[in-house]
Amino acid sequence: MNGDWLIRGRDGRLTVYLPSGDAVLCRAERGPAGSWDAPRTVGGTQKLHPGVAVGQGADGYAHLAAWRPTVPGESGLVHSTHFRPRLAPLDWVPIGHPDKKGDRTGEPAVAVDAQGRGYVFVRNKGGGVSLRNQKEKGGWGPWQDLEGHDVEGELAAVTGESGLVEVYASAGGGILHWRQEEPGRTPVRGEGADVPARPGTLRAIATSAEHTTLFFTDVSGDLCAWRPGEKPVTLIASAGPGPVSAVRCEIEGHDVTVLAQRSSSGRVAFAAYPTEQESAGAWWTESGPQLPADAAVSLALDEHDEVVAASLSPSTGKLFLTRRKDEPGLALEAWREI
C-alpha cells in the first residue's frame, strides 16, 4: 500500500484498506472507537495486481488507484472513490496507461486537491513521472508527462494545506519534486535535493501553511527530513528498513509530528518532535507485539484528533490497532486485534 491506508472518514469513523490476493479489502468502524465491520471488497470483482495507492481529500473522501491485468503482458490503471466508511466504494474505473499501452511501470501514488479532484502519479517507461487527474466538471484529463529521469521505488504524493498537490520521487542519487503553482494546474518540477534516498522509503505530509515535509531513509540508514527550499537534515537513525508513517497533531497544546515504523526487532517504534523543528531531536520508543517482516504501519487521527496507529501483516492477515491514552505524552493503549 502506498499512502495512508488507515484514514478517518468524514463521519469520524476509521477505515483500513487491506491487500488481499488480487483484490483490495476495506474495513470500517461501526462507530467511533467501537467494533469493526467485516472486510468488504473494494471496487467490485475486477482482479488487480498487487500494489494499491490511497489518498484522501479535505472532504474526507478516499481515492484509490491500482494496476489491473488487461491483455496478456499488458496492464492498465484503475481508480475508485470511497465516500463514507460504511458505504461500498465505487467500482473501479479504467484510466489507462501512461505510455498508452504496456505492462506495469511502477507503483501509483494518489493525492487529492482542495476541490476533491484525484491526481494519479506513476513512473513511465522512460523513467520519469506521468500524471492523470480528474477534471473540474467530471471525467479525466489526458495523461501528462512531467518528465524526470531514473525514478525508482514508490512515489510520495501529498496535498499541502494550500490544497495544492505535490509529488516526490527518488531518482539517480537524488530526490525530485513537482508542485502545483495554482489550483488545477499541472505540477511543475522545482528544486530537488542532491541526496540519495533509499527507494521505497519516501513519505510526505503537510507540516505548515507553506511547506510539506518529505521523510526518507538515506543510504547510511538515517531517517532524514527535507522541505524544498531548505537543506535535508538527519532526524534520527531509522528504526527499521521500511518507510515511516507520519501524522501531525496536537499533544498538550504543542504542534507535534509523530512518526511510526516497524523496527528491526519486529515491534512498532514511535517517535515525536515539534513540527518542523528537527533540531529538537527525536528518539524511538517501541510498542506492541513482534510482527512479521512484511508488517506495515499507518498513523491517523481519530474523531477526537488523537493519534491512532494500525499494523498489518499481509502474510498473516492480522490487523492490530492502538490509540493514544488520555495521559501526558504519547502514552498508548494496549494493542488489540480487530
Is 32 a domain residue? Answer: yes
Is 264 a domain residue? Answer: no
pLDDT at 172 > cutoff 80: yes
Residue 278, classed as helix, strand or coil, is helix
Domain ranges, residue 21: 2-246
| Confidence at residue 80, expressed as pLDDT on a 0 to 100 scale | 97
pLDDT at 144 > cutoff 80: yes
Is 242 a domain residue? Answer: yes
Which residues on neighbouring strands pair with residue 168, listed in sequence order?
A: 156, 177
> Within a 10 A sphere around the Cβ of 71, how many other Cβ atoms?
8
pLDDT at 315 > cutoff 90: no
| Confidence at residue 31, expressed as pLDDT on a 0 to 100 scale | 80
Q: Grid coordinates standing for 46?
A: 475486477
Average pLDDT score, the chain: 94
Is 296 a domain residue? Answer: no
| Confidence at residue 319, expressed as pLDDT on a 0 to 100 scale | 93
pTM, two decimal places: 0.96
pLDDT at 61 > cutoff 80: yes
What is the C-alpha to C-alpha distance for residues 251 and 333, in angstroms, rounded to an integer?
A: 16
Residue-wise pLDDT for 63-92, tens only, equals 999 999 999 999 999 999 999 888 899 999
Distance separating the N- and C-terminal Cα atoms of the chain: 19
- Please state the rounded mean pLDDT for residues 142-169: 97
Is 318 a domain residue? Answer: no
Q: Grid coordinates standing for 129?
A: 513521472
The label of the residue with cell 497533531 reads: 249
Residue-wise pLDDT for 177-193, tens only, equals 999 999 999 999 999 99
Is 118 a domain residue? Answer: yes
For 24, 55, 56, the CA distances from 92, given in Å and listed in that order, are: 11, 15, 17
Q: What percent of the chain has pLDDT over 90?
A: 86
- Please state the rounded mean pLDDT for residues 119-140: 96
For 80, 178, 232, the CA distances from 229, given in Å and listed in that order, are: 34, 13, 10
For 121, 182, 254, 321, the CA distances from 2, given in Å and listed in that order, are: 11, 25, 29, 19
What is the C-alpha to C-alpha distance for residues 323 and 338, in angstroms, rounded to an integer?
A: 13
Residue-wise pLDDT for 14-46, tens only, equals 999 999 989 999 999 988 777 899 999 999 999
Is 301 a domain residue? Answer: no
| Confidence at residue 269, expressed as pLDDT on a 0 to 100 scale | 97
CATH number where 180 lies: 2.120.10.10
| Count: domains in the chain | 1
Q: Grid coordinates standing for 130?
A: 506521468
Residue 280, classed as helix, strand or coil, is helix
User: Nearest to residue 63, comparing CAs of 116, 102, 23?
Assistant: 116
Phi then psi for residue 12, to 5 deg, are: 90, -10
Is 157 a domain residue? Answer: yes
The label of the residue with cell 483500513 reads: 16
User: Nearest to residue 287, comparing CAs of 236, 246, 322?
Assistant: 322
Q: Do 283 and 236 touch, CB atoms closer than 8 A?
A: yes
Residue-wise pLDDT for 241-281, tens only, equals 888 999 999 999 999 999 999 999 999 999 999 999 999 99
**Is residue 255 within a helix (H) or strand (E), and if so which, with residue range?**
strand 254-262
Running DSSP on this structure, what letter comes out for residue 197? B
Q: Do 221 and 241 touch, CB atoms closer than 8 A?
A: no
pLDDT at 137 > cutoff 90: no
Give the confidence band of 112 by pLDDT, cuts at 50, 70, 90: very high
Lowest-confidence region among 126-140, 146-160, 209-223, 314-328? 314-328
